[in-house]
Amino acid sequence: MSASTPSLFDSYRLGEMMLPNRIVMAPLTRNRAAPGFVPSDLAPDYYAQRASAGLLITEASQISQQGQGYQDTPGIYTDAQVAGWRKVTDAVHAKGGRIVIQLWHVGRVSHTALQPGGAAPVAPSALQAATKTFVNNTFTDTSMPRALEIGEIAGIVADYRRAAANAITAGFDGVEVHAANGYLIDQFLKDGANQRTDAYGGSIANRSRFLLEVMDAVIAEIGAARTGVRLSPVSPANGISDSDPQALFNVVIEELDKRHPLYVHVVEGATGGPRDVAPDFSFEALRQRFAGPWMVNNGYDLDLATRVVAEGKADLVAFGRPFISNPDLVERLRRNAPLNELDRDTLYGGGAKGYTDYPALDPVA
């Protein structure tokens, strides 16, 4: 490999941060928040153990109680939650790491048991998500949502802005706006979930409006250099679909490019599943429309990650579940060492087991 060929293990400047490598820990829901949806006392250790990643992206964290869709997920909307996250960022920074928080509103992927006053979840349109959520320690069908009134949307945009401000107060290096995987922003983007006939529905420009308003609000609050965004153009996650994702996301990327976000984080294929669910979709066409840092995700191993970085098809590669069972994933990839086996029974909920107790490699003598 020539000196000019980028490597997965090269340092990389991302906004105001110098990353020691191009390996990113993807956001991973673990359902271990303490009462009040505060990060648990184990969370600082969990994230600090993984601080050798070029960048850590936290588990998705709701911007309001209305934005919650699963039990025991952390928030970033109360003073106690901010204080809990400050312990996490302090622990990561003490290890020399860099960390951003993923800002989340699930929209219709929720249950009345989690909503303020037992209300219906909200969505662009009153269409139930064909998926399940995790409530009372079991997976159950989502509740029927109600369509948001147009006058309510600005309040949710303001919730994102407040959450971004809270993230900086909590010591984060930035935020990632979660616009993927069938959650609220993705529901507005995709016509399988958005049947509105007002300024937020119909045309691609209208369906993109909510995402762009959120991005503009967050950027106005904390700056473009601290604002990333995650997209999943073709993933069917949480029952989402669109009739023409290429046309939609070509426009979305062009609009995002004008705003110069910290990065665009793209889930290629079905989230956590096959990469080839939409073989005619061109991720390269998206890449060509964006001048900034490009992060890829989904099903990457060492060989594929090495190749896409060397070929300039991505600047950063996010790994998900391998980071759960391998706190020292960067070093394991560097040595091409075996990976710990994932304990699937401890993915969601619980305590230290399957969370902070996975072993690291022995140090090199």
User: How far is CA 210 from each of CA 36, 162, 207, rounded to the nearest angstrom?
Assistant: 28, 16, 7
Residue located via tokens 């505060």: 38
Tell me if residue 160 is catalytic: no
Written as six digits, the tokens of 34 are 């303490």
Between helices 153-169 and 204-222, what is the axis angle to 10°? 30
Written as six digits, the tokens of 214 are 């959120």
Neighbour-count burial of 15, counting CB atoms closer than 10 A to its CB (0-12 exposed, 13-18 middle, 19+ buried): buried
CA 359 to CA 353: how far, in whole Å? 11
Between helices 204-222 and 245-259, what is the axis angle to 10°? 30
Catalytic residue, chosen from 12, 70, 183, 358, is: 183
Written as six digits, the tokens of 283 are 């991720």
Give me the residues paired with residue 133 across strands.
Answer: 140
Q: Could you give the residue numbers annotated as active site?
A: 183
